[in-house]
Chain A
Amino acid sequence: MLEKTDATEDGRLEAVIGRQSHTFVGRIVGHQAFWVFLAMVAAGLSLTLLTETFATPQNLFNVTRNFAFVGIVALGMTVVIISGGIDLSVGSVLCLSAMVLAITMNAGWGLVPSAALALAVSALVGLINGALIAYVRIPSFVVTLGMLSVARSLAMVISGNRVVFQFGPDEKLLFQLGGGSTFSIANPVIALFLFGVATALLLRWTRWGTHVFAIGANERAAGLTGIAVARVKVSVYVFSSLMAGIAGVLEAGWLGGVTTNLGQSMELSVIAATVIGGANLLGGAGTVFGSVVGAALIEVIRNSLILLGIGTFWQGAFVGSFIVLAVAFDRIRAYRDTES
């Protein structure tokens, strides 16, 4: 008799434990990125109907290429923000990377060694950021704010604040890499896609990704469970700087010249893109898809203002409002969830 009730009790327990709380659709609808994506699709559809210029291959080519650079940098920023930090130095690192590339190629180096050096310099900047944040325990905001200044200054020092527009023997190759297209998709967009998929896979399917999320939610708990918190934090800033460095190389190729104000205040658009896409500045939440959609949305807003004949001075007002709106929308939804 007793055994029988035990068995039914076990069965009941198993059923409860095995029950699914959230359906697949429920999980998707619960993401801010999904609603931002819908907003972007809606904006795209209405622009297609309102203007004859939006849905042209040339315009779409330009739109996608324009947000690709911000998007690539946003991949690194997403990881940093998930870990509970911030990286304000990305715009300057992008400039420094492009400048190292430009100067070495100008001096006759090939594309590969130049790009390798540019990325190594970027990674080194990230390493310094990460070490100061993780081991010396200076807040990331302060460290990267300092680096924002230092990295841009270094770009000015090594170039003498000149514009570099001659890239030596591999010039064509560089212009093709950053400014060309493959299967009529701009190369930077392809790079964004590849790096985006890689970043998403790293976050979802590696222990490193799990640890980044854990550190962002509860750094002390992560440490207590044996996660190498400091090392993961360093890796996060190296990753972010590397993405900025890659974007720098591509952007140099697209622009065909590098000035020391390249990437100026880019960190703000990048942070805006990740926040619009659902990343939480307090850490612990964010998605690659959201950040890329956020970057795309900012560019679509910019593009639509031009196409609709509204002055580009309005861009800041629209993008700024959208940042607040997207987060407010998410707050309201979260509030309703806890109420019910």
Chain B
Amino acid sequence: MTVLRLDGVSKHFGAIHALDDVSLSLSAGEVVGLMGDNGAGKSTLVKIVAGNFRPTQGRLYLKDRETVFHGPLDARQNGIEIVYQDLALCDNLTAAVNVFLGRELTRRFGPFRIVDYAAMNRRAAELFKALRSETRPKDLVKSMSGGQRQAVAIARTRLSNADIVLMDEPTAAISVRQVAEVLALIRELKSHGVAVVLISHRMPDVFSVADRVVVLRRGRVVANKATQATSPEEVTGLITGAIDHA
């Protein structure tokens, strides 16, 4: 099932063509590696899907329905979640509170509505278990490993039952062991039928989890093929321009 389809999307900033006639589609449970050099248009593309930018031209379809996002909140309500590179976590709060940040659970206490920590801890524990991550809901994020921090950020996307998760360089600044943890988390998302767009510079990570690789160069899609049908060498050539098109 196609959850997201871009049809001839372009984005111009004045004379600069950040994206040029990009067409893509994304299916449920599919992991797409989005690759390209700095300035190739990856983040512009992500910001269009996330509702930060509106395309200058072209259309965006969610489950075959044409959609226009009025801002990031709108995209979020339509089942698109982003895991930011810095994860957008608050170190001084617990994992569970971070998962629920901005949508805390409350319960009635006499005339007041108070934060329901017990319910949030319980639900967060379920989410971490479903992600197969050894993350304790009541621990402060401050004391967590890179992999656990990723689990907290990803658990947020599970909370809203997002169909599409955009991940911005999740493995850029963490240790080898933690990279394995993050890749395992991505596979868990996939197994729950979530479509994942993985923006990454790291070839081994993309090749180990992605079903498909999309390469952008100067705002154009120069390759969109199954991971098995390509190789790191070819992708490198496509990114740098040594290979024109594939």
Q: Are A and B interaction partners?
A: yes
Interface of A toward B, CB cutoff 8 Å: 10, 13-14, 16-22, 205-207, 209-210, 213-214, 216-218, 220-222, 224-227, 284-285
In the A-B complex, list the 6 residue pairs whose CB atoms are closest, starting with the nearest. A225-B102, A221-B88, A226-B102, A217-B90, A205-B114, A284-B92
Contact call A14/B129, Cβ cutoff below 8 A? yes
Question: Which of A14, A22, A218 makes the CB contact (< 8 A) with B91?
Answer: A218
A16-B134, A18-B125, A207-B104 known; A226-B91 Cβ under 8 A: no
Verify A214–B93 contact, CB threshold 8 A: yes
**Contacts A213-B92, A217-B90 given; does A16 touch B115 at CB 8 Å:** no
Contact (A19, B92) CB under 8 Å given A14-B129, A206-B114: no
Instruction: Assess the B129–A222 pair: CB atoms within 8 A.
Output: no
With A17-B128, A207-B106, A210-B104 in contact, is A222–B135 under 8 Å at CB? no
Does B132 sit at the interface, judged by CB under 8 A?
Answer: yes
Please report the C-alpha to C-alpha distance between residue A216 and residue B92 in the assembled complex, in whole angstroms: 9
Residues of B close to A213: CB separation below 8 A: 90, 92-93
Chain A: minimal CB distance from B115 (Å): 6
- Residues of chain B within 8 A of A207, CB atoms compared: 104, 106, 113, 115
Q: Once the chains bind, are A222 and B104 in contact (CB under 8 Å)?
A: no
Q: Are A226 and B90 in contact (CB under 8 A)?
A: no
CB neighbours of B115 from chain A (8 A): 205-207, 209-210
Given contacts A206-B115, A207-B115, contact A21 B139 (CB under 8 A): yes
Nearest chain B residue, comparing its CB with the CB of A207: B104
Query: Majority SS of interface residues in chain B?
Result: loop
A205 partner residues in chain B, CB cutoff 8 A: 109, 112, 114-115
- When distances are taken between beta carbons in the complex, the residues of chain B under 8 Å from A13 are 129, 132, 134
Is B73 at the interface (CB under 8 A from chain A)? yes
Most chain B Cβ neighbours within 10 Å, of A17, A22, A205, A221:
A17
A285-B92 contact, Cβ under 8 Å, with A210-B104, A226-B102, A226-B103:
yes
Within 8 A of A (CB), among B41-82: 73, 76
Name the residue of chain A whose CB is nearest to the CB of B101: A225
Given contacts A206-B114, A214-B101, contact A221 B129 (CB under 8 A): no
**Residue ID in chain B nearest A10 by CB atoms:** B129
- Bound-state CA distance A217–B86 (Å) is 13
Chain B residues whose C-beta falls within 8 Å of the C-beta of A218 in the assembled complex: 88-91
B16 to chain A, nearest CB (A): 26
Whether the Cβ atoms of A221 and B90 lie closer than 8 Å is yes
- A24 CA to B234 CA in the complex, in Å? 56
Once the chains are docked, how many angstroms separate the CA of A157 from the CA of B125? 59
Does B84 make an interface contact (CB < 8 A)? yes
- Closest Cβ of chain B to A19, distance in Å, is 6
CB distance from B84 to the nearest CB of A (A): 7
The distance in angstroms between the C-alpha atoms of A21 and B139, with both chains bound, is 7
Supply 5 further A-B pairs (C-beta < 8 A) apart from A213-B90, A218-B90. Answer: A13-B134, A17-B128, A205-B115, A226-B76, A284-B91
